[in-house]
Amino acid sequence: MTTVTHLECSVCAKRREAGQIHNLCECGGPLLVRYDLAKARDQRPTAINSMWRYGAVLPVESEANIVSLGEGMTPLVRTARLGKRVGAGDLWVKDEGLNPTGSFKARGLSCAVSMVKELGIRKVAIPSAGNAAGAMSAYAAAAGVEAHIFMPRDVPQSNFIECMATGAHVTLVDGLISDCGKIVAARKDAEGWFDVSTLKEPYRIEGKKTMGYELAEQFDWKLPDVIFYPAGGGVGLIGMWKAFEEMEAMGWIAAGKRPKMIAVQAEGCQPVVRAFERGEDRTEFWDNAYTVASGLRVPKPLGDVLMLKAIRDSGGCAIAVTDSDMLDAGIELASDEGMFAAPEGGACVAALKQLLASGFLKPEERIVIYNTGCGLKYLEAYSTRYPRLAGGEADKLGGLITPH
């Protein structure tokens, strides 16, 4: 099935053997999975209706170890009304909110937990802003693996309840995802946990890169001109860039025709935007990070170097939008197209408006927005736009949309 050959450090290029347990390289760099792409070239996607149709370029050796809930193969929808509203004549949305557990995180955790099963790991731990925790809890439950979750106390209630319902051990932390990560790092050795933090293991990125494979296949192996991606940890963006490199090497897509990658962040947490605008290769920690888009509240992404390189190599940019604008844009997408997106998806719509108005993008370009989650998981955030649901009436609904 797989054509994996080895793992390679993204910083020092040191080689690691496949089929063994790895986290970061000794130099601190994230590890990337490498494949025999000459061998994979002739193994076109199978008929499997999930991301596992690309098994030749995924790391799992035995099909028996795949832990799948049907993730991937999400809709790519042309949004004519929204396009007309914002002045984009060829606008599409890739709706990752229809994945299991309601977000694109299902892709990464399906792959990571499958490798956990293959490597014989019995306990996993993750710091999460919300959706990654829900996904890991679900896939760990499906695999029969013990899951330990550390989330900020103010995560959306949907994420907390999801993790509890799927049997995870949940700890709510007074702080940000970075604080949660410190707890996992401090306790993992003593507790016997495998750390599934973003880019601290090699396999979540492999699941997320399938967003790039799917997009190419859905466009008949041609890529769009522009991709908007809401970037907290940014692994989806990094993964797609890796997918494009692999597909070029295999001849599945034309070389040299990759999209401009637009990383979208929140005004209250924009470390990548700041580094991009300053011409820096690394981000600095963003103090007092805040945004209603919990997936964008990542003050210091581990993959910052890889993300900034992909943005610059593509001729793209990094841009920040306000919470107010992202919520309003999310409602525009819902009312125009019937797609109720996470605030992260709304942030991409708001950013699109800015870049069209500035002339950075042209109306005739083929543009794809990635909506990374389902709006139903962010009712607290959207309830601020509908005052009749605030206060007493929210309480009657069980508190699910009572603002924190």
For residues 371 and 374, what is the distance between their CA atoms, to the nearest angstrom?
8
Q: In what order do the strands lie in the sheet with 4-9?
A: 15-17, 4-9, 31-35
For residues 178 and 327, what is the distance between their CA atoms, to the nearest angstrom?
25
pLDDT reported for residue 401: 42
Contact 360, 367 (CB under 8 A): no
| pLDDT tens for each residue of 119-146 | 999 999 999 988 999 999 999 999 999 9
For residues 365 and 360, what is the distance between their CA atoms, to the nearest angstrom?
11
Percent of the chain with pLDDT over 90: 91
Average pLDDT over residues 294-314: 95
Instruction: Label residue 200 exposed, middle or buried (CB < 10 Å: 0-12, 13-18, 19+).
Output: buried
**Average pLDDT of the chain to the nearest whole number:** 94
Give me the residue spans of the domains in the chain.
79-404
Helices marked H in 221-303: 235-250, 271-278
Residues with Cβ within 8 Å of 42's Cβ and at least 6 positions away in sequence, in order, are none
Hey, is 388 helix, strand or coil? helix
Q: Where do we find the tokens 């963006």? A: 237
Contact 381, 327 (CB under 8 A): yes
| pLDDT tens for each residue of 81-106 | 999 999 999 999 999 999 999 999 99
CB-based contacts of 15-24 (< 8 A; 24+ apart in sequence): 18/59, 19/61, 19/119, 20/119, 21/119, 21/121, 21/194, 22/201, 22/202, 23/194, 23/195, 23/200, 23/201, 24/200
Residues with Cβ within 8 Å of 283's Cβ and at least 6 positions away in sequence, in order, are 271, 272, 274, 275, 300, 301, 304, 308
Measured CA angle at 168 (ends 162, 170), to 5 deg: 85
Contact 264, 272 (CB under 8 A): no
pLDDT reported for residue 1: 77
pLDDT reported for residue 389: 53
Q: How far is the first Cα of the chain from the last one, in angstroms, to the nearest whole number?
A: 47
Hey, is 199 helix, strand or coil? coil
Q: Where do we find the tokens 């799917």? A: 214
| pLDDT tens for each residue of 250-264 | 999 999 899 999 999
| pLDDT tens for each residue of 41-73 | 999 999 999 999 999 999 999 999 999 999 999
Average pLDDT over residues 362-381: 96
Question: b/e string for 364-377 if b means 16 or more Cβ within 10 A?
Answer: ebbbbbbbbbbbeb
List the one residue out of 39, 13, 44, 43 whose CA is nearest residue 27: 13
Q: What is the DSSP letter of 90?
A: E
Partners of 366 in the β-ladder: 90
Helices marked H in 41-193: 80-86, 105-119, 131-143, 157-165, 177-191
Hey, is 381 helix, strand or coil? helix
Q: What is the DSSP letter of 65?
A: G
Instruction: Please name the fold of domain 79-404.
Output: Rossmann fold (3.40.50)
| pLDDT tens for each residue of 16-27 | 999 999 999 999
pTM for the model = 0.93
Contact 151, 126 (CB under 8 A): no
